[in-house]
Amino acid sequence: MTSIDRTRPRRLPYSVGVLTLLGAFSFVATLACDTFERTPGEVADLEGTAPSEQLSGTVSPTPTTATQPGPNAPPSAMVSVHVFDTAGRLVGPLSVPEIERSDAEWRELLSDEQFRILRSSGTERAFCGTLLDNKKEGVYACAGCGLPLFASDSKFKSGTGWPSFFQPIAPGNVAELVDKSHGMVRTEINCARCAGHLGHVFEDGPPPTGLRFCLNSESLNFTEADRLAELADPAATGASATDSAAPETATLVFAGGCFWCVEAVFEELAGVREAISGYAGGSADTANYRAVCSGTTGHAEAVRITYEPAKISYEQLLRVHLATHDPTTLNRQGADVGTQYRSAIFYADETEKRTAERILDEAARTGAFSKPIVTTLEPLGTFYPAESSHQNYVCLNPNQGYVQSVAWPKVKKVREKFSGLLKETSPLER
């Protein structure tokens, strides 16, 4: 068949509207979660205050457990997380409702210091946290809702003055969002279930992830390894440690410009078993490259991703997608123009739809992009795999002009921005 030539020189420069850490602020990574998170008034209030007056937590407080919303509460959005069962085993991923409470309700559950940090994005003073030097084996859970967040085997001494970990206990339990406060651009980390502020994550950690999750002690409760059954969550009822109820693999479909590029990006991620280029949004009779390139079929060049939820979550994959293409240009990615190059998330069910809506709303609310996001949310109909000549294209054609100028920069971006999510060996390097 006749194919559209993508080897021609592009008259317009390719660009992606992705938020990156600016070089001028690179020093922030070495300062971790310090008093840049505070207002000048908060810093002044703490100076000269005895550490015993600044902290209210203990090493092993009674864990806070999740409670169900009242009968008149509106339906909550769902998140996919791992929790402990009554045998002290981590199970999941399980779909659980987000926890939303009023400030008055949170104040009843939390100490003043916990409320200031978890609900008002505060920061405790360096080297003062009760969990900084804790060397016991166990699990660190959210002080607001009891969701397990980090395990002791990923804790390390960073020298920054705050408890530091190189990875969460499970994909999806820790949410990330852009923090542009205090004239800087950082990645804030929150509890995925109750949105409690935990700290920030930086790309200066040890192997194997290269990440440093910088936490406030007051945002955490520690439970020793022989008492993990105390963290049992109602959502774990009927689940097992092997998680027979949860699928070993799941699939999703994203569109973000040329499918060669999108496929290459997601092939880099640990937990992604397969990425297939294809077409979504149109009918079977027009699901071919020549027809789709006309821009009149309703199809988008899309990629079907098969992944392991136990290793990488739907939310993490969504964040990678938004960060590696430009979600602010309508029916266009760089010099590729047409509805087939639209930014789209094809959702398979209401849970995926609500998760995508939440991530898109968060990106808009935090100003992650300088222009409005135009990514469409579309129900997933039939996904049609593309012709064999389009599969694994970047790997098989690394020196092709379009690949060099458009696809490779996106691959480099995912490697730089999501170093903790990468496969040990890139498929492109084999």
Q: d(Cα 105, Cα 64) in Å, to the nearest integer?
A: 13
Question: Which entry of 258, 261, 293, 395 is annotated as an active-site residue?
Answer: 258
Residue from 214, 261, 293, 395 carrying the catalytic annotation: 214
214 among known catalytic residues: yes
d(CA 303, CA 73): 38
Rounded to the nearest angstrom, the gap between the alpha carbon of residue 190 and the centroid of all alpha carbons in its chain is 10
Enter the tokens of residue 407.
């696809």
261 is catalytic: no
Is-contact 236 85, C-beta < 8 A?
yes
Tokens of 201: 């994550």
Strands 343-347 and 376-379 come out as parallel
Q: 91 near 85, Cβ under 8 Å? A: yes
The whole-angstrom separation of Cα 106 and Cα 124 is: 19
Cα separations in angstroms, 33 against 37, 63, 160, 197, 325: 7, 24, 8, 12, 29
54 φψ region: left (φ > 0), alpha (ψ -120 to 50), beta (else): alpha
370 backbone dihedrals φ, ψ, rounded to 5°? -75, -15
155-156 β-sheet, strand order: 155-156, 164-165, 212-215, 197-202, 186-191, 174-179
Enumerate the active-site residues: 214, 258
